[in-house]
Amino acid sequence: MTQLLVGTKKGLFVLEGEAGGPFAVTSRAFAGEPVEFATQDERSGRTFACVTSAFYGPKIFYTDDLAAEWQQATGVELPEDAEKPLERLWTIVPAEDDDHLYAGGAPGVLFESHDGGATWELNRAFWEQPTRPEWSPGAGGMCMHSIATWPGDPSRVALAISAVGVWLTDDGGKTWRHGNKGMYPRYMPEEAREETITLCVHNMHRAPKQPERLFMQFHGGVYRSDDAGESWTSIADGLPSDFGFPMVMDPDDPDSAYVIPLVADMDRTTPEGRVRVYETRDAGATWIERGDGLPSNDAYLTILRQAFCREGSGPDMGLYFGATSGDVFGSGDAGKSWFTAATNLPPVHSVRAA
């Protein structure tokens, strides 16, 4: 049985089912409210939801039992002298040390919890970056969406922000530096591409078994880093488009990555009306089209950056993604074949296996 946490524009939906067949909605929380992201910390079993009410602002809620009440986490706020309030929360990631979690949000902010997610505090070193006044948001806000920890080493973390590039720390978040070499922002004037920090990363993941390797979906580009995020090499050749949002890896295979290409930034839909996932097993040298069971005619879907996830690893790895159309698709064989898990949900913001 697979359990999916599906964050949507109108609440959190919990889906349950077996790979190959339709999933059932077993519960719903935060009805009517945008749930940007939901995930479960497998260490504690605690489930988190990032809820951004249009009226009451962004909050983190948590529960240890999906059938029970949710609690509001505290401390998720900016300093009183901030120019604007906290806008949105985009991701929650367990850190490498016990009870430690990270949360990323807009405007380009990192929060940390050291008590399993009940209370949070702003990472001041990142908040006080001297270049912050020069930072620019992407269309979805200045979102910190990707937090890549280093297995076994709590001191090393990579962050990615749209549109402020990659940031690296080697001291547990006390100091931060850029990791931007090699990215090619063609949305910037040619003269500015070399020096700019307006780098619109859409998603970034680290290979757990080879942690110096990361993969990135960029705003027009797909990249790989083999030096822990210091520099990046294009691996977009062979894809129908280098634009897209989410990315997934097989944790057993450092050479693996999955992307879901969209036409381009001016047309953020699946190319030619066909929904296709692309898989590499050679670190981006070649890409394999995966679409058996996915819509192939007149299907112009948009899949957002947090709406693609995996469950397990290897040949039986589950893959699940949701679209703003309200459809959720799944695979129980690492992408070789696909099935429709759910339809007619509200626009899907995020999908994670619990």
Partner 1 sequence: MPVVRLRAPLSELAGGKRELELDGSTVGEVLQALEREHPDVKGWILDERGSIREHINVFVNKENGQEDTAVAEHDRLHVIPAISGG
For the bound state, the minimum distance from the C-beta of residue 141 to partner 1, rounded and expressed in Å, comes to 14
- Interface residue with partner 1 among 68, 69, 81, 297 (CB under 8 A) is 81
Q: How many residues bind partner 1 (CB under 8 A)?
A: 15
Residue 84 tokens, joined: 């604007």
82 or 285: CB nearest partner 1:
82
- Interface residue with partner 1 among 69, 80, 190, 191 (CB under 8 A) is 80
Nearest to 279 by CA among 329, 306, 227, 315: 315
**What residues contact residue 60 under an 8 Å CB cut-off, 6+ apart?**
48, 49, 50, 51, 72, 73, 76, 89, 92, 103, 117, 120
30 or 329: CB nearest partner 1:
30
Task: Tell me the per-residue interface mask from 199 to 238 with partner 1, x by CB under 8 A, - otherwise.
Answer: ----------------------------------------
73 or 307: CB nearest partner 1:
73
For the bound state, the minimum distance from the C-beta of residue 17 to partner 1, rounded and expressed in Å, comes to 29
Site for partner 1 in 263-322 (CB under 8 A): none
Residue 41 tokens, joined: 């910390």
**What residues contact residue 55 under an 8 Å CB cut-off, 6+ apart?**
none
132 or 178: CB nearest partner 1:
132
29 or 309: CB nearest partner 1:
29
- Interface residue with partner 1 among 18, 45, 72, 227 (CB under 8 A) is 72
Stretch that binds partner 1, among 17-25, 53-61, 103-111, 241-249 (CB under 8 A): 53-61
Assign 198 to helix, strand or coil: coil
For the bound state, the minimum distance from the C-beta of residue 84 to partner 1, rounded and expressed in Å, comes to 8
Do 276 and 261 touch, CB atoms closer than 8 A? yes
Stretch that binds partner 1, among 52-60, 151-159, 204-212, 286-294 (CB under 8 A): 52-60
Strands (DSSP E) along 54-152, which ranges? 57-63, 71-72, 88-94, 101-106, 109-113, 121-122, 143-150
Radius of gyration of the chain (CA): 19
Do 161 and 218 touch, CB atoms closer than 8 A? no
Instruction: Kindly state whether residue 54 participates in binding partner 1, applying the rule CB under 8 A.
Output: yes
108 or 332: CB nearest partner 1:
108
Q: Which helix (H) or strand (E) holds 124?
A: helix 124-127
User: Residue 114 class from Cβ within 10 Å (0-12 exposed, 13-18 middle, 19+ buried)?
Assistant: middle
- Interface residue with partner 1 among 56, 69, 131, 190 (CB under 8 A) is 56
Instruction: Kindly state whether residue 69 participates in binding partner 1, applying the rule CB under 8 A.
Output: no
Do 201 and 146 touch, CB atoms closer than 8 A? yes
The contact set with partner 1 (CB under 8 A) reads: 9, 54-57, 59, 72, 77-82, 85-86
